[in-house]
Amino acid sequence: MDLARLNRDSEPGWGSGQGESAVLEPQKSPLREALDRATHALIQEQATDGHWRWELEADCTIPAEYILMMHFTDEVDEALQAKLANYIRRRRDPRHGGWPLYTGGHFDLSCSVKAYYALKLAGDDPGAPHMEATRQAILTEGGAAKANVFTRILLAQFDQVPWRAIPLVPAEIARFPAWFPFHLTKISYWSRTVMVPLSVLYTLRAKAENPRGVGVRELFTVPPEEERDYFPIWSWRNRLFFWLERLAAGVERLAPRRVREGSVRKAAEWYIERLNGEHGLGGIFPAMVYAYEGLVQLGYVSGAGIGLALGAAIPPAVRTACLGLLGGGLLVLGVRETRCGSGHAHATDRVRVPSTTSDVDRDHTRS
């Protein structure tokens, strides 16, 4: 964004063809007006001592995946499940019948599939009005077969789609040498912390315990085993990569069992080393879920509770302070980048982020 030009355009005379010396009312572009409104809204939400505070939320894929994880391992905390289910129900948008990725957003197919499945696992009647509305919205969008890859991985673990609906993610990726075109150090931190645990589940073709035998075949327009369009083709490059991936998937099945087992062990060791008992795995929820499920499948965890493999939770006060530093810093940067007027000049001067645990506790217990 060219902020210099944006600010210049909002000053008197600019863009009027009369030069800088002309005395005219400031002319603001639509972008500048939007930035001013957003800045004003942020300042209005700022507390008198300089800090901002809002509820930290994620979309409903997170509580839905937690319910699904409990049913994957057959470690269902009924009280917690009831609370998560209540939260998911409250977040459903009746305008489109499903769940968005942010408040007031458009219908998201993948999020809605996970939320529907989680509620059904939690005991919601598929014939209930909210479930019927969600099911119809999902079918209108093409059904669960059109959901994203992460959702289809979950469905494969629960035997709702065949594993051919999932792209190749072999555990051998943990053994590739650094000179190889693909190597874990050549992809982002988020990607590798998710991909390596996922590769263990994929190679093992992990199967959920699913103690209540709950399925969601009603979310498919075509029986999932008959579906032939899990990977739509829209370009020749896309087609090429698809056939290369299918070729590699065929070769994968020919790998000796000893090689496969060694690859799984290598991948598991990679993320076990990074489970430091404090922050899970990079503080990334999908990575922690996949890591724990993989450990359960490999027999590392048996009846010890979900918290063991994921590591102890970060103390809430410390976590809040860290998030406050990040969020407050981004807000200050945003306000300064928009070069707020003199009426808002004090906003960035009085920013305060709790610096101690007691500060955080006091702020979050304040009525």
CB 324 within 8 A of CB 354: yes
Q: pLDDT by residue (tens digit) across 237-266? A: 888 888 888 888 888 878 888 999 999 999
Q: How far apart are CA 17 and CA 21, in angstroms?
A: 11
Q: Are 129 and 122 in contact (CB under 8 A)?
A: no
Residues 6+ positions from 225 with CB-CB distance below 8 Å: 162
Q: What is the pLDDT of residues 288-321, one digit of tens each?
A: 899 999 999 998 865 444 444 343 332 333 333 3
Query: pLDDT tens across 18-45, in order?
Result: 444 445 556 788 888 888 888 888 888 8
pTM value?
0.74
Please give the angle made by the CA atoms of 196, 199 and 200, to the nearest 5 degrees.
Answer: 100
- Domains delineated in the chain: 61-228+257-313 (1.50.10.20)
Provide the token pair at 240: 């090429």
* Higher-pLDDT residue of 118, 1: 118
Q: How many residues does the chain have?
A: 367
- Average pLDDT, rounded, for the chain: 80
Q: In this predicted model, what pLDDT tens digit does every residue of 107-166 receive, in sequence order?
A: 999 999 999 999 999 999 999 999 999 999 999 999 999 999 999 999 999 999 999 999
Residue in 40, 47, 107, 26 with CA at minimum distance from that of residue 350: 47
- With a CB cutoff of 8 Å and minimum separation 6, the contacts of 139 are 219, 221
Contact 364, 320 (CB under 8 A): yes
pLDDT in tens, 182-219: 889 999 988 999 999 999 999 999 999 999 999 999 99
Would you call 128 helix, strand, or coil by DSSP?
coil
pLDDT in tens, 161-187: 999 999 999 999 999 999 998 889 999
